[in-house]
Amino acid sequence: MDQLDILKQNWQSQTDNSPRFTKEQLTGLLARTSSGIVKWLLIIAMIEFVVFIVLGLVSHLANQENHTIEMMGAPFYYGSMIFHYVVIITFIYVFYSNYKHISISQPTSSLMNKILKTRRTMKWYIWYNLTYMMLVGMIATVLVIPNDPKVTELLASPEMAGHETAFYLMALGASFIVFLIICVVMYLIYQLIYGILLRKLQRNYNELKRMEI
């Protein structure tokens, strides 16, 4: 007889000093809230959605103040804004439909898969936002520069003669670097948050996957 079967024979007789809960205690437990990772995924996702929506609105208000919209051209400005919010709404829909399908009573491997899929949606959401900010930011730079009176004035000065292209490239390069730094910082924050949250899940998921090879 193998080792495990010896344990199996005696398995049901195990006890330890942890107490059995009374019915009253069990009823009390029902009122508690979950501290599980699915709840945290939802909270983080809500924060992400709110942050980028608010960020968009704040920048819109700021642009109205300092005439950026006229300089950039209304069609591009409003076009990109509408596009942006349509994409965000799509993300919210995809997230919600993934989230709704997480059911604790499904088989372990599909539960893990659903959770990771939900997390992937949020990863793409962040990458979309960063890419959007970078692309629109750079296009806006190109559109704004020729129409900005301050820049026109600067380029008209004798010292700048012949260096217009260099100026454009530097402006683009600078904004690119700023966005790159933001991306790296965001990436690190994300690795940290989801790393803490999902490390165990990822490890167990990999273990399950290894079994299927």
Partner 1 sequence: MSKQLEEEFIKQLDENQNIVHKICRLYTNDQHAHKDLFQEVTVQLWRAYPKFRGDSKFSTWMYRVALNTAITLYRKSTRRVTTQDYESVQFKIEDQNEEDEQMEQLTLLYGAVKQLNDIEKALVFLYLEDKNYREIAETMGISEVNARVKMNRIKTKLTNIINP
Query: Where does this chain bind partner 1 (CB under 8 A)?
Result: 2-4, 6-8, 10-11, 13-18, 20-21, 23, 26-27, 29-30, 32-38, 40, 103-112, 115, 197, 199-201, 203-204, 207-208, 211-212
Angle at 31 between CA 26 and CA 33, to 5 degrees: 115
Query: Given the complex with partner 1, which of 34 and 165 has the nearer CB atom?
Result: 34
- Collapse the DSSP code of 158 into the 3-class scheme (helix H, G, I; strand E, B; otherwise coil) and give the result: helix
- Cβ count within 10 A of residue 98: 20
Minimum CB separation from partner 1 for residue 59, in Å? Answer: 35
Cα–Cα dist 30/154, whole Å: 68
Minimum CB separation from partner 1 for residue 38, in Å? Answer: 6
Minimum CB separation from partner 1 for residue 88, in Å? Answer: 28
> Does an H or E element contain 59, and which?
helix 37-65
Cα–Cα dist 106/111, whole Å: 6
Query: Given the complex with partner 1, which of 92 and 116 has the nearer CB atom?
Result: 116
Query: Given the complex with partner 1, which of 26 and 170 has the nearer CB atom?
Result: 26
Minimum CB separation from partner 1 for residue 43, in Å? Answer: 13
Query: Given the complex with partner 1, which of 97 and 110 has the nearer CB atom?
Result: 110
Angle at 52 between CA 48 and CA 58, to 5 degrees: 145
